[in-house]
């Protein structure tokens, strides 16, 4: 049977400046999908590259005292370096200055013109250089481009026009008949709403600058950058050769949400005009934010992806992007969260599983994978926890890689539970059972190396090498009793990173402060409310069962007047974890839930995207673990500002961001 093909692309990057976090995120998404289809056994072609024409490049080159070609030749080094550092497995890197691309662009422009779909005219309008496109008054906000916050220039010039309007109904029909064409669904609806307005013909050439592909029949015109750039998706696979026929149509264009119009309206119209089938799916992802704000130099919150890779490693960086940024929306990136995930999910869960298994096999079997004996119910239950491949494939096909990561790590955590339950370090008097337990762990590590390869490829390959195996395909991700080999000497897979809180704690342990801040006695944690029950002896109280990460807690809370049980169940809260337990009307309360109160309105604190067990802290103050009293708590004055809970003008936060509450400024936290 011939392999099924899978063709995936990123948007091509505009190299007027060095790569940013958005470039890194999009590369990681596409690479994860490409690698997933590789281990499925598909024939994968993965295209990325750079969009090197246009006025923005021309101006950036002039500012640097270089020609546009010299400028772009130097800039693409940074983009190729980002791909290399991220371990991005692209098949081809296309540049729109490549001769093959220029040839394709000129041929197809002429083809569309010969069909009477391009004509000469004059264009007058508002032009945003940052977007390389004309803007309507409706698209502006207070007269500014919403993406670049600059007023567009009034421009009037001779231009060739593409009869975009002739394709409006065909595009609408295609979108309605192929719901998979635009993903996510919200973006599909957005485009359909915009298409209710009549389409205007598109200006597809420029005379106001020279850096572009000249029209052979009218050399004072260069092809409009968006007509030129979009064609990379076919020039990059050799249009119109056998290679093009093999891989087209594209299975997935991965793009940012700010260029979805070009990819789902202009691009389909160009393809229809060229008699080329439309791509199967255009997937639009959101932007990476910092504390809910878009990155910008003016805000001082720009993060350099190369710096993150240098500091934390490519796989930890890839992991947190895939785990924390929701595929269908904007999402926050934080170094604190990267450190936390590196230390828990990567080092503690995955790295420790490999380390313990390797050490025990070297100690008991001279580094050789032992022969599997009789399997018990424990082994069968662990085998049942292997994620179902059809479920994982369905999630990947619907661009929900974050849920794939969750399922794989739930399986990894189940493997760690198996270690704790079987206690192989106590089985030296039962060598056959010990062999079975350790073989089982090796076998599941082999499966884990396959499943994690798309997300953290370098680490997955290290796991496979450590247990003496090659990284396999998805079809190999099933338990077998036939695995043989030699375990390499144990090596640390992920090094733990010391956090600022830990550094402060270490400093405090070495040197006691002269005056202790009252807040330091407060140890606040995040918990999830699993159950809400009525207090048996009090009409205004609930008894809450909490998941606090590594432990379960019971709290008594006076929330009955303010929340229904269903409004609390499943909710993340902040609670005082080291408050001395107390009997409240005959029921023990093991801590205290925090809430804000203002003008008679009471709302519980919201820790955002944190997880049960996460630490809540104030920068520079190390929380203690010894028990405190209610009197100690009353010495701490917490209030609100801009919906954020603050202490001495500093925000309470987790590694995921600040703690918030749905109340105005000056609320009392109790």
Domains in the chain: ranges and CATH: 334-476 (1.10.730.10), 515-669 (2.40.50.140)
Q: Are 474 and 450 in contact (CB under 8 A)?
A: yes
Q: Are 134 and 123 in contact (CB under 8 A)?
A: yes
Distance CA 460, CA 493 (A): 10
Q: Which of 286, 340, 293, 291 is nearest to 611 (CA)?
A: 340
Distance CA 148, CA 471 (A): 45
Q: Any alpha helices (H) in 472-586, and if so which ranges?
A: 500-510, 565-568
Q: Are 524 and 575 in contact (CB under 8 A)?
A: yes
The radius of gyration of the chain from alpha carbons, rounded to an integer in Å, stands at 29
Buried-exposed string 291-302: b where 16+ CB fall within 10 A, e elsewhere: beeebeeeeeee
Dihedral angle over CA of 303, 304, 308, 309, nearest 10: 160
pLDDT score of 298:
62
Q: At what angle do helices 68-85 and 305-312 cross, to 10 degrees?
A: 30
Mean pLDDT of 311-335: 95
Q: How confident is the model at residue 499 (pLDDT cuts 50, 70, 90)?
A: low
Q: Which of 579, 603, 599 is nearest to 589 (CA)?
A: 579
Mean pLDDT of 303-327: 96
Count Cβ atoms below 10 Å from residue 351 Cβ, excluding itself. 22
Q: Omega before 249 cis (within 30°)?
A: yes
For the stretch 111-144, pLDDT in tens is 999 999 999 998 877 877 777 676 777 777 777 8
Mean pLDDT of 485-511: 70
The region of weakest confidence among 14-28, 159-173, 310-324, 650-664 is 650-664
Strands 592-593 and 288-290: unpaired
199 CB contacts (<8 Å, ≥6 apart)? Answer: 164, 165, 167, 168, 265
395 CB contacts (<8 Å, ≥6 apart)? Answer: 401, 403, 404, 407
Q: Where are the beta strands (DSSP E) in 465-541?
A: 524-534
Q: How confident is the model at residue 514 (pLDDT cuts 50, 70, 90)?
A: very low
pLDDT score of 537:
86
Mean pLDDT of 12-17: 95
In the numeric block, which tokens belong to residue 67?
């020609």
Q: Which of 189, 192, 187 is nearest to 172 (CA)?
A: 192
Q: Which residues pair with 120 in a beta bridge?
A: 160
Distance CA 130, CA 133 (A): 8
pLDDT score of 62:
96
Place of tokens 């090796």: 442
Upper half-sphere CA count for residue 180 (Cβ side, 13 Å): 10
DSSP states of 266-308 as a string?
Answer: IHHHHHHHTT-PPPS-EEEE--EEETTEE--TTTT----HHHH
Name the average pLDDT for the chain.
92
Dihedral angle over CA of 380, 384, 387, 390, nearest 10: 120
Model-level pTM?
Answer: 0.74
Q: Are 280 and 248 in contact (CB under 8 A)?
A: no
pLDDT score of 148:
59
Q: Are 254 and 285 in contact (CB under 8 A)?
A: yes
pLDDT over 90 for what percent of the chain?
76
pLDDT score of 65:
96
Q: Are 118 and 274 in contact (CB under 8 A)?
A: no
pLDDT score of 294:
79
Phi, psi of 135 (to 5 degrees): -120, 145
pLDDT score of 125:
78
Q: Omega before 240 cis (within 30°)?
A: yes
Q: How is residue 497 annotated by DSSP?
A: -
What spatial distance separates the first Cα and last Cα of the chain, rounded to whole Å?
67
Count Cβ atoms below 10 Å from residue 498 Cβ, excluding itself. 11
Phi, psi of 649 (to 5 degrees): 70, 10
Strands 288-290 and 331-332: parallel
Q: Where are the beta strands (DSSP E) in 419-541?
A: 524-534
Q: Which residues are catalytic?
A: 20, 23, 128, 131, 145, 148, 294, 297
Mean pLDDT of 147-171: 88
Q: Where are the beta strands (DSSP E) in 279-425?
A: 282-285, 288-290, 293-294, 331-332
Distance CA 124, CA 111 (A): 26
pLDDT score of 233:
98
Count Cβ atoms below 10 Å from residue 641 Cβ, excluding itself. 13
Buried-exposed string 423-445: b where 16+ CB fall within 10 A, e elsewhere: ebeebeeeeeebbbbbbbbbbbb
Q: Omega before 300 cis (within 30°)?
A: no
Q: Where does residue 633 fall: left (phi above 0), alpha (psi -120 to 50 degrees), or beta otherwise?
A: alpha
H/E element holding 634? helix 630-634
pLDDT score of 513:
41
Q: At what angle do helices 401-422 and 352-365 cross, to 10 degrees?
A: 40
Q: Is the pLDDT assigned to residue 353 strictly greater than 90? A: yes
Mean pLDDT of 8-32: 97
Q: How is residue 206 annotated by DSSP?
A: E
Q: How confident is the model at residue 503 (pLDDT cuts 50, 70, 90)?
A: very low
pLDDT score of 505:
42
Q: Are 278 and 286 in contact (CB under 8 A)?
A: no
Q: How is residue 597 annotated by DSSP?
A: E
Higher model confidence: residue 133 or residue 548?
548
Q: Are 369 and 484 in contact (CB under 8 A)?
A: yes
Give the total residue count for the chain.
670
Q: Omega before 184 cis (within 30°)?
A: yes
pLDDT score of 650:
87
């Amino acid at each position: 049977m011939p392999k099924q093909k899978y063709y995936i692309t990123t948007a091509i990057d505009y190299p007027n400046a060095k790569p940013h976090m958005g470039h890194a995120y999009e590369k990681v998404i596409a690479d994860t999908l490409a690698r997933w289809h590789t281990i499925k056994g598909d024939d994968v072609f993965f295209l990325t590259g750079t969009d090197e024409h246009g006025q923005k490049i021309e101006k950036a080159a002039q500012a640097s005292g270089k020609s546009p070609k010299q400028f772009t030749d130097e800039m693409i080094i940074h983009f190729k370096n980002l791909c290399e550092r991220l371990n991005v497995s692209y098949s081809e890197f296309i540049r729109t200055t490549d001769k093959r691309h220029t040839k394709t662009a000129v041929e197809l422009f002429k083809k569309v013109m010969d069909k009477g779909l391009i004509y000469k005219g004059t264009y007058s309008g508002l032009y945003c250089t940052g977007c390389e496109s004309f803007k309507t008054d409706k698209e502006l906000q207070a007269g500014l481009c919403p993406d670049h916050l600059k007023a567009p220039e009034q421009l009037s010039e001779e231009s060739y026009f593409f009869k975009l309007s002739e394709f409006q109904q065909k595009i609408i029909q295609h979108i309605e008949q192929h719901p998979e064409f635009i993903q996510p669904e919200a973006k599909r609806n957005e485009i359909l709403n915009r298409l209710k307005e009549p389409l205007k013909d598109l200006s597809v050439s420029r005379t106001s600058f020279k850096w572009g592909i000249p029209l052979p029949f009218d050399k004072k015109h260069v092809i409009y950058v968006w007509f030129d750039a979009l064609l990379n998706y076919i020039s990059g696979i050799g249009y119109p050769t056998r290679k093009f026929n093999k891989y087209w149509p594209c299975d997935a264009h991965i793009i940012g949400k700010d260029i979805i119009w070009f990819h789902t309206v202009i691009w389909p119209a160009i393809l229809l005009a060229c008699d080329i089938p439309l791509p199967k799916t255009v997937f639009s992802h959101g932007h990476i934010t910092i504390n809910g704000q878009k990155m910008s130099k003016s805000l001082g919150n720009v993060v350099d992806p190369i710096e993150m890779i240098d500091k934390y490693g490519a796989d930890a960086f890839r992991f947190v992007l895939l785990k924390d940024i929701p595929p269908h929306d904007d999402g926050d990136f934080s170094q604190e969260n990267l450190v936390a995930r590196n230390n828990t999910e990567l080092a503690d869960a995955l790295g420790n599983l490999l380390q313990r298994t390797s050490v025990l096999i070297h100690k008991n079997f001279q580094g050789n994978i032992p022969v599997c004996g009789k399997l018990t119910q424990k082994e069968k239950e662990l085998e049942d926890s292997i994620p179902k491949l059809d479920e994982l494939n369905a999630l990947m096909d619907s661009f929900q890689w974050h849920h794939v990561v969750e399922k794989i790590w739930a399986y990894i955590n189940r493997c760690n539970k198996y270690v704790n339950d079987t206690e192989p370090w106590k089985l030296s008097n039962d060598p056959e059972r010990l062999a079975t337990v350790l073989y089982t762990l090796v076998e599941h590590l082999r499966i884990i190396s396959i499943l994690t390869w798309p997300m953290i490829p370098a680490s997955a390959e290290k796991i496979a090498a450590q247990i003496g195996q090659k990284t396999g395909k998805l079809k190999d991700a099933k338990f077998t009793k036939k695995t043989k080999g030699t375990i390499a000497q144990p090596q640390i897979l992920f090094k733990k990173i010391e956090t600022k809180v830990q550094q402060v704690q270490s400093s405090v342990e070495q040197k006691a402060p002269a005056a202790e801040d009252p807040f330091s006695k407060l140890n606040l944690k995040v918990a999830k409310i699993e159950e809400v029950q009525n207090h048996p002896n009090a009409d205004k109280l609930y008894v809450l069962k909490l998941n606090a990460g590594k432990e379960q807690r019971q709290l008594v809370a006076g929330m009955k007047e303010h929340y229904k049980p269903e409004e609390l169940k499943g909710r993340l809260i902040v609670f005082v974890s080291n408050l001395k337990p107390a009997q409240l009307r005959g029921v023990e309360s093991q801590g205290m839930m925090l809430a804000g109160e203002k003008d008679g309105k009471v709302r519980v604190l919201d820790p955002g995207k944190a997880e049960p067990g996460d630490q809540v802290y104030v920068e520079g103050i190390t929380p203690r673990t010894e028990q405190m009293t209610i009197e100690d708590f009353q010495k701490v004055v917490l209030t609100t500002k801009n919906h954020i809970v603050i202490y001495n003008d500093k925000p309470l936060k987790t590694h995921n961001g600040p703690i918030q509450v749905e109340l105005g400024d000056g609320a009392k936290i109790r």
